[in-house]
Chain A
Amino acid sequence: MTGGGGEIRAPYRAFAEWLGVQHMETLRQKAAEAEVLFRRSGITFAVYGDEEAAERLIPFDILPRIISSAEWSKLEQGIEQRVRALNAFLYDIYHRQEILKAGKVPVDLVIQNSAFLPEMIGVDPPRSIYSHIIGIDIVRTNENDFAVLEDNTRTPSGVSYMIENRETMMHLFPDLFSRNRVRPVENYPDALLKTLESVSPRNLDAEPNIALLTPGIFNSAYFEHSFLADQMGIDLVESCDLAVIDGFLRMKTTEGLKRVDVLYRRVDDLFLDPLVFDPTSLIGVPGIFDVFRSGRLAIVNAPGSGIADDKAIYSYIPEIIKFYTGKEPILANVETYNCRDPEGLKYVLSHLPDLVVKEVHGSGGYGMLIGPRSTTDEIEAFRAKIIADPNNYIAQPTLSLSTCPTFINAGIGPRHLDLRPFVLVGDQVRLMPGGLTRVALKKGSLVVNSSQGGGTKDTWVLQE
């Protein structure tokens, strides 16, 4: 909220004025009310292996994160540039592989990567788009700059919280919205539906049938799956509702079988088709990959798009952007050390207490080392893991997360946070002004993942 000199930053002024005259007790009541609202509507998050709290609430912080109009428009341009480049990269590596031939990205890093699907080579998805729904994790690096911490190009989640958080804030603090001109995010489902429609492989005069594939009610993001299907008015299907018959994907309805044209799947690549990938998968549909390959079905996001958000590829993204757009990246990466590179490895091993080290394929805050918060023993144990398999690790400085005032029981204090805007790629690029702000609730903690006890905030992008 405050800049380097300690003064309140411009976008926060109206809000800070309001906050200054609030009673702590009122805020505490509002926070409690928010929890009741979330609990009652069942906005829960399942945590694997956490039997007791099989359905937990993600803590919601009632103080918003605010971004000015000027900041946002720069982010917007940077994000659009980035997602176009990511899709161009995906098309290229599954076709002519120019970027590998040009030596801009190491060949083995792509070809030997488990997120690279050889089955996708030569396959042409509708409109040549692989990753339609992308979540880009962004952090503020200084007063005027943002950098990308991570890309999520396979099945990013959290967008339902962006919408519900706003809904809750408007319910709790209607007066705040009359003081601040906050751009709306509620039309996300609409934009998503338009994006899905725009990649239908069927000729345009036929209204496409669109369905959302969920692994089922035990999936951690099930709430989001049902929320989105409901908001778009499309069927929420499980694998048992689908079958490949006569070369098309069909769903079983009360009136018999119905063709599916676009499948927004929230099932990982490897579980998608037991005939092609993991034969033991029960949440996939046998034969679906063939239907996709033959151009009779759009799968969103396309299989194999995970290679673009691989943490080892991440450090090459600036190169990738230059290669496909011919321009400098508008949004920088967070400084990253690649342990596969000897220089990087050397640096990482000698600076472990200052770094965040991540597994290349890990997600959800698992399998990482946060140097400043770890004991000497933990650091040494991690050092051994890195030395044993350097290709599997990258590292980033810990100072890259900014903080924002957050309501905690004892009062208001600064907490680290990041931001995940959601961008849609179809016949056009659509970006909601906002996103999911994730906040570390423990003092000093840098881990914002919901599976690790992080919370969320409403994210305001102000109108000019």
Chain B
Amino acid sequence: MLSRTANDLYWLSRYVERAENMARLLEVGYRIVLLPRQDEGFHEEWRSTLESAGCLDGYTQRHGELNSRNVIHYMLFDVGNPSSIASCLASARRSARAQRTALTREMWQSLNGSWLEFSAIKPASVTSNSLPELLDWVRSRSALYRGAMLNTILRNDTFYFSQVGTFIERADSSARILDVKYYHLLPSSDLVGSGKDNYQWVALLRSVSAHRSYRWVFKDEYRPLKIAEFMILNRQMPRSLRSCYDEITLALRDLGIFYGARNDCHATAESTRDLLLESLIESIFQSGLHEFIQDFIARNNKLGNEISSAYHFSD
């Protein structure tokens, strides 16, 4: 396969996944903003939403003050924001057009359809009442694309690169959500478990569509330690770091077999997966959740770079 094709497939998956994550983050942010609050939490929540999305600096430069209208616009429509949903869909569609030959008709049509429909939306027409519907739509379009991909794509390098892209992006997003919620909302570690922060943790679960599945797994009330365990180490939870790395190692292993060669990226992915397999949530908290997540994000980035060099993405 052409290196450029592999690179585009990898990023195409990342952008589709990112669009979905942006929609999830916005939804949670918005839900919390709607809750009755006494303090300055209103702005703080938008700040943490932007921070989770990796958009805070960009937003501040463009708008300065935080307000719902600007935040929503910045994350949905601003093409100057490379992570906005508009930018993600445009980038995904651009890569897809360049790689029409690597995509099945269904994959292309679902992406092209999403892009056409989204482009037709006038930002001014998006009111707070219509926002939830729009965010639902973004998630369902992402699901449609993934469904089309899983149902129709050949199980060869096109599939493996797509999978790796999806799960590296998802791992990054889950880790950032965890980190920001933890770090910014609970600056003092003795607050953990105090009950005050409970709804923040539930919101976090909501953003990964897991507040119900948590109950099925733990049959217990929401507890920060358990929630963190669920999001980091649980192998059943499809957006946990562990799940993402199960998928990444599997796709990389298949890629290695397909090409008959292993690279640095294989060892890196496996060691990160082993870490997630062997760690206990208690010891993670003891040595610092924030430090653990920062280390994870760095490893995940390193893996991305190693994949890019192993398969000559940018030669």
Contacts and interface: CB of A to CB of B under 8 A. Distances in A.
Nearest to B104: A230
Interface in A125-184: none
B259 interface: yes
Nearest to A242: B2
B105 interface: yes
Contact of B3 (A223, A226, A230, A253): A253
B101 A241 contact: no
Interface string A253-264: 111100000000
Interface in B1-20: 1-6
B135 to A, nearest CB: 24
Nearest to B112: A42
A238 B105 CA distance: 22
Interface string A213-257: 000110000110011011000011110110000000001111110
B201 interface: no
A66 B33 CA distance: 65
B215 interface: no
Given A40-B109, A226-B100, A241-B3, A254 B259 contact: yes
Interface residues of B, number: 22
Contact of A42 (B3, B108, B157): B108
A41 interface: yes
Contacts of B100: 42, 223, 226-227, 230, 236
Given A217-B97, A252-B312, A255-B259, A235 B105 contact: no
A170 to B, nearest CB: 16
Contacts of B113: 40
Contacts of A252: 2-4, 312, 315
Interface in B80-102: 94, 97-98, 100-101
A186 to B, nearest CB: 15
A217 B94 contact: yes
B3 A254 contact: yes
Nearest to B96: A42
A254 B101 contact: no
Contacts of B285: none
Interface residues of A, number: 23
Contact of B312 (A42, A227, A229, A256): A256
A226 B2 contact: no
B311 interface: yes
Contacts of B4: 238, 240-241, 252
A191 B1 CA distance: 23
A254 B109 CA distance: 26
Contact of A254 (B97, B98, B311): B311
A40 B315 CA distance: 34
Contacts of A216: 98
Interface string A365-378: 00000000000000
Contacts of B5: 235
A41 B109 contact: yes
B312 A254 contact: yes
Contacts of A236: 100-101
Given A41-B109, A42-B108, A256-B312, A251 B2 contact: yes
Contact of B2 (A40, A41, A227, A241): A241
Given A217-B98, A230-B101, A252-B315, A40 B112 contact: yes
Nearest to A55: B97
A241 B112 CA distance: 25
A124 to B, nearest CB: 30
Contacts of B311: 254
Nearest to B315: A252
B157 A254 contact: yes
B6 A254 contact: yes
Contacts of B261: 255
A255 B3 CA distance: 8
Contacts of A241: 2-4
B312 A226 contact: no
Contacts of B109: 40-42
B1 A253 contact: yes
Interface in A363-419: none
A251 B4 CA distance: 10
A252 B3 CA distance: 6
A253 B2 contact: yes
A109 to B, nearest CB: 41
A41 B106 CA distance: 9
Nearest to A256: B312
B157 to A, nearest CB: 7
Contacts of B112: 40, 42
A213 to B, nearest CB: 12
Nearest to A42: B112
Residue of A226, A254, A255 with most partner-chain B CB within 10 A: A254
Interface in B278-314: 311-312
Contacts of A254: 1-3, 6, 157, 259, 311-312
Given A252-B2, A254-B312, A255-B259, A226 B101 contact: yes
Contacts of B98: 216-217
Contacts of B97: 42, 217, 222, 226
B101 A229 contact: yes
A235 B2 contact: yes
A235 B98 CA distance: 12
A399 to B, nearest CB: 41
Interface in B39-92: none
Nearest to A243: B315
A230 to B, nearest CB: 4
Contacts of A42: 97, 100, 108-109, 112
Contacts of A255: 259, 261
A222 to B, nearest CB: 8
Given A226-B101, A253-B2, 20 more contacts: A40-B112, A41-B105, A41-B109, A42-B97, A42-B109, A217-B98, A227-B100, A229-B101, A230-B101, A235-B101, A241-B4, A251-B2, A252-B3, A252-B4, A252-B312, A254-B1, A254-B3, A254-B157, A254-B259, A255-B259
Interface of A: 40-42, 216-217, 222-223, 226-227, 229-230, 235-238, 240-241, 251-256
9 contacts: A217-B94, A223-B100, A226-B101, A229-B101, A237-B2, A252-B4, A252-B315, A254-B157, A254-B259
